[in-house]
Amino acid sequence: MASPKKLKILFVTSEVVPFVKTGGLADVSSALPQKLQELGHEVRIVLPKYGAVDERRFKIHEVVRLKDLTTTIGKKEVTFSLRSSFLVGSKARVQIYFLDNHEYFGSRHSLYSDQQTGKEFKDNDERFILLSKSVFELVKKLGWVPDIIHCNDWQTGLIPIYKKVLYDDDELLKNVKTLLTIHNINIQGVFPKTSFQKTGLPEEFNNDKELLLNGKLNMLHAGLKYADAISTVSETYAKELCKIPEASAGLRDDLCKRKKDFFGIVNGIDPLVWNPEKDKKIHKKFTVKNLEKKFVNKEFIEEKFGFDYDENIPLIGMISRLDDNKGFDLLKKAFKELMQLDLRLVILGTGDKKYQKFFEDAAMKYSDKFACYIGFDDDIAHQIEAGADMFLMPSKYEPCGLNQMYSLVYGTIPIVRETGGLADTVENYNPSTKKGNGIVFKKYDEKELIKTIKKALALYKDKKAWERLMKTGMKSNFTWLKSAKNYVNVYKKILS
Ligand code: GLC
């Protein structure tokens, strides 16, 4: 069957900027649908309406047809509604449906875990079974049938199997295809075997040959197995997932079996949100033509973090989930030695309790050199990108990474480890050819990290070379256009 030129795409995700964000998935879930729509396709998004979503600000309204729908989770009957709003960009207006259920989503501010205890919600299985099932109820009620349901991460992992088991013979839905994109393979949505009953799927799937993995319900595994195609967010990372057993966190078989239908497409960035010329969240806007204003931003963020401003001491920024995969074990090992160097470091992020504690203690001990903000704050994220001289991402694995691209366009030189999307977007600066846009190290080792940071500090002293490097980064073009076209090619491949 020839696929239509203009595709209908239902994009299902657990976070979207500006409504809710804990990580890069939210940026992608906002920018990619807009770009696809700009390219002439029809995109709609489904997102849970957590307590944190501001109903008034985003003018989320009721849709009569989508009110008080019902489904079952195990034996429990659950009522939900889908409410509607728009994601408004410069050129595209993308319809977004909010899955509204007070018990599972509305009554809780945070997305996946209890803010107080840091523990994952006990009923995350039920919450995301509901998200997956609601998608089909939405389509049936609207009579708007997508060509593709584009799923993202474990939270949407059951959608492909629901499609296959429940709707492959359904006149309306039988031709719908599914793509699952992996943004984070380490969080898989793993639940005890007893959770299988809650899915409502036939008992013949309740084993390791079908849905389960190691005797457990693993929603990401389910998605990788039953989606029509799978993808991840950079080419290098796609290769690493198949090559390095540790990288795939136990899902290597799933990926290797599907090599033919497994694609790597690098993320882009949204130039409306991340652009120092237009960014309302930063202290002073700037361009390549008035780089001195970048230092006004440096002064601003240094003061915000409690430092006495000094233009000549390089400021390194980090914005990240605090976990091993992002390289925080290296940073912790290197920390003492780094604190002897002539630099300042600021970190914004949350994550592993052990790192939160380590950095909070370190901030007291080295208050003239180090500061952190444990939490997430989008304004501060923009201000760090604008004010820092360098941006550090020593990741062990990095599916794509967005901050290195944000850094480049803000004239903030990325220092990264060569892995995943970092390898695809940052090229090591070569002083003799003057090629490259950042500073890259290969070996995952704290000595390498220290050596590389020292190299960056030395280069920073060469004002001319540094400025050239800043300008190279600021001129880079990370638009979504090419990547969105690559997604369309994948959709079309699945449909043909
Ligand atoms: C996850 C990954 C990150 C990627 C983002 C968006 O947060 O860790 O590398 O850029 O998803 O795809």
8-268+481-495: CATH, from 3.40.50.2300, 3.40.50.720, 3.40.50.2000, 1.10.3720.10: 3.40.50.2000
Q: Do domains 8-268+481-495 and 292-477 have the same CATH topology?
A: yes
Distances in Å between the alpha carbon of 496 and those of 2, 177, 213?
6, 10, 30
Q: What is the pLDDT of residues 429-453, one digit of tens each?
A: 999 999 999 999 999 999 999 999 9
Nearest CA to ligand 1 atom 10: 401
Residue nearest to atom 1 of ligand 1 (CA): 183
At 88, is the pLDDT very low, low, confident or very high (cuts 50, 70, 90)? confident
Average pLDDT over residues 410-435: 97
pLDDT at 47: 98
Query: Is the CATH number of domain 292-477 3.30.460.80?
Result: no
Q: Which of 113-117, 168-172, 205-209, 414-418 has the lowest mean pLDDT?
A: 113-117
Q: Give tens-digit pLDDT for 223-264.
A: 999 999 999 999 999 999 999 999 999 999 999 999 999 999
**Does residue 137 surpass a pLDDT of 60?**
yes
CA-based end-to-end distance of the chain: 6
What average pLDDT score do residues 329-357 get?
96
- The residue to mutate among 179, 184, 187, having the most atoms of ligand 1 within 8 angstroms of its beta carbon, is 184
**Cα(38) to centroid(ligand 1), Å:** 23
Compute the distance from residue 324 Cα to the ligand 1 centre, in Å. Answer: 15
Cα of 339 from ligand 1 centre, angstroms: 29
* Omega before 18 within 30 of 0, i.e. cis: yes
d(CA 276, CA 285): 5
CA 461 to chain centre: 34
- The position carrying tokens 């239908």 is 261
Task: Give the distance (Å) from ligand 1 centre to CA of residue 140.
Answer: 32
pLDDT above 90 as % of the chain: 95
Residue ranges of the domains in the chain?
8-268+481-495, 292-477
**How many angstroms is it from 75 CA to the middle of ligand 1?**
36
DSSP string for 240-258: HHHH-GGGGTT-HHHHHHT
Does 27 score more than 80 pLDDT? yes
Is residue 384 pLDDT above 70, yes or no?
yes
Statement: residue 16 has pLDDT above 60: yes
Judge whether residue 2 has pLDDT over 70.
no
Residues with CB under 6 A from ligand 1: 23-25, 28, 183-184, 233, 267, 398-402, 421
Binned at pLDDT 50, 70 and 90, residue 4 comes out as: low
Q: What is the pTM of this model?
A: 0.93
pLDDT of 310 > 80? The answer is yes
Closest atom of ligand 1 relative to the 25 alpha carbon: 6
Cβ atoms of residues 39 and 48 within 8 Å: no
